Structure 1
Amino acid sequence: MSLFNKMLASIGIGAAKVDTNLVSERIALGGEVKGVVQIIGGSVEQTIDEIYLSLYSTYTVEVNDQKTTRQALIEKWKIVEPFTIGVNEKKEIPFSFKLPLDTPISVGKTRVWLHTGLDIKNAIDPADEDYIRIEPTPVMNAVLAAMEGIGFRLREAECEEAPLPLRRRLPFVQEFEYVPKGGMFRGKLDEVEVIFLPKSEQETEVLMQIDRRARGLGSFWAEALDLDESIVRFQATNADIPHLREKLSTLIQRYC
């Protein structure tokens, strides 16, 4: 019977199960992800070689004018050394780790989740997935609010494959695409794209691509050669928050 149970467990029947419970499913960038991994033993004793937590997101890649979706591993943590789980035994393993600053925030099409996996030799590895809501740092949130405040509307937010000059640790960047809905920029700009490159919880580099509305006889060639686009980089810190609305307005006006 024991041998039969082991054979069943090797294909996932009667094997150990895993469930992750987070203290909170809303986490700010740079904040602590805390929770407990609960393992419940199956019908046979099993050796757990590893428990790992992996943070994932999706991003789009354009191939031959077609968009496809890929998964990206943001970070992976091993939270325990090998141990044995007995028949129907319950174990709870607490964990805590800092959320990477380059994790995309939860807005638009962006989804981020935590994958919990048990590594068991000669068996199908049990797993659990939990979606989490990622919130921006205060300075990032202030930049987004300032864009709305000066007359822009967020049209789309999406993680896309990063061009080589912008590629860092991850294969993608998160882009926030704004269009003017009113005010001084309506009729002058097509869109403004914003990318954050956080340095700390208090500071971020902001990359903006300002797409002017091409006018006149040369408009066709301006758009064809991307001459109607300007790329701007600047630093924003918590100290800038009270003045970000004015700062962004003045900056964007230079490229209208």
Structure 2
Amino acid sequence: MFKNLLASVGIGAAKVDTKLFNNSVVPGETLEGEVYIRGGDVSQEISDIYVKLATEYERETEDSTVTEECVLINYRLLERLTIQPKEEVVVPFALVLPHEMPLTLGRTPVYIRTGLDIKSAINPRDRDHLEVRPHPLMQRVLQAVENLGFHLYKVDCEYTHHFAGAYPFVQEFEFRPNGQYRNSLDELEVVFRLKPEGLEVLLELDKRARGWQGLLEEAFDVDERYARLFVKQSDLYERDLEAVIDQTIQSHIH
């Protein structure tokens, strides 16, 4: 009885630990691993075993900025299990990672949360962080933008209801111009939407104010221009993305 009481507050209770086979991934890949469950000092009924892939984004409120969690995948491994004292159970899993998951650049975390739901007890949990690298199409676009004289200075995930994606945020890559555009642009923002058939790229061009007209446009937030591109796998070898992006920027700032 005393051991049951201790287990209910987490002392001598079951524990969970997740082992990832590879914690460096690319959106759209499959993440594999194993969940290790070790029984405590008493037998316990586990009603649910889950793995959640999650990230965080920022949302502006009336007077502050709040950080919220977004669960990208909620995967139930097992619905019910009785774990005996000191028993070890290993549950393998494989998750197909979403194409629209963010990259772990800047301050953006992506992690696996594993948990056991145990009635009348503190539920054991485990958290494992992932490194999410750019998909080759993303990497090609980022390199093309840098080749045009921009440098990446900020990456973050922000709440939006305009982009109509799978999640309530977008990841923004903010560039500042060093080269030919330093006198015509304040910044260039890039947003990716990766799909199985290719990469949609949204460019937001923030024009530098010039004269009274420019100052008025900036004051009323109408100095921003938007453009969309679609990049396919074949474009990695057959398309001059620097020229395409350069032409797109030129057509929107004049």
TM-score, length basis structure 1? 0.94
Cα offset, 1:19, TM superposition: 0.4
Give the Cα–Cα distance (whole angstroms) in 2 for the partners of residues 114 and 227 of structure 1: 40
**Structure 2 match to 1:178:** 175
**Structure 2 match to 1:101:** 99
**Structure 2 match to 1:208:** 203
Cα offset, 1:65, TM superposition: 4.7
Instruction: Give the CA RMSD over aligned residues.
Output: 1.2
Q: From 9, 12, 26, give the equivalent of 2:10.
A: 12
Give the Cα–Cα distance (whole angstroms) in 2 for the partners of residues 67 and 83 of structure 1: 41
Q: From 238, 241, 255, give the equivalent of 2:236.
A: 241
Contact 1:212/1:255 (8 A) holds in 2: no
Which letter maps to 2:214?
S
Give the Cα–Cα distance (whole angstroms) in 1 for the partners of residues 123 and 64 of structure 2: 34
**Structure 2 match to 1:51:** 49
Aligned sequence identity (%):
40
Query: 1:194 aligned to 2:190?
Result: yes
Q: Which runs of 4+ in 1 moved over 3 A?
A: none
Give the Cα–Cα distance (whole angstroms) in 2 for the partners of residues 168 and 89 of structure 1: 43
**Structure 1 match to 2:80:** 82
Contact 1:57/1:111 (8 A) holds in 2: yes
TM-score, length basis structure 2? 0.95
DSSP 3-state at the match of 1:246 = helix
Give the Cα–Cα distance (whole angstroms) in 2 for the partners of residues 78 and 122 of structure 1: 20
**Alignment size in residue pairs:** 251
Deviations along 1:101-124, one digit per CA (max 9) or x if unpaired, are 111011111111110001111111
DSSP 3-state at the match of 2:221 = coil
Which letter maps to 2:181?
F
DSSP 3-state at the match of 2:244 = helix
Q: Which runs of 5+ in 2 are unaligned?
A: none
**Structure 1 match to 2:64:** 66
Query: 1:219 aligned to 2:214?
Result: yes
DSSP 3-state at the match of 1:217 = helix
Give the Cα–Cα distance (whole angstroms) in 2 for the partners of residues 220 and 249 of structure 1: 25
DSSP 3-state at the match of 2:249 = helix
Deviations along 1:145-200, one digit per CA (max 9) or x if unpaired, are 111111100110000001x2213321111000011012x21211111111111222
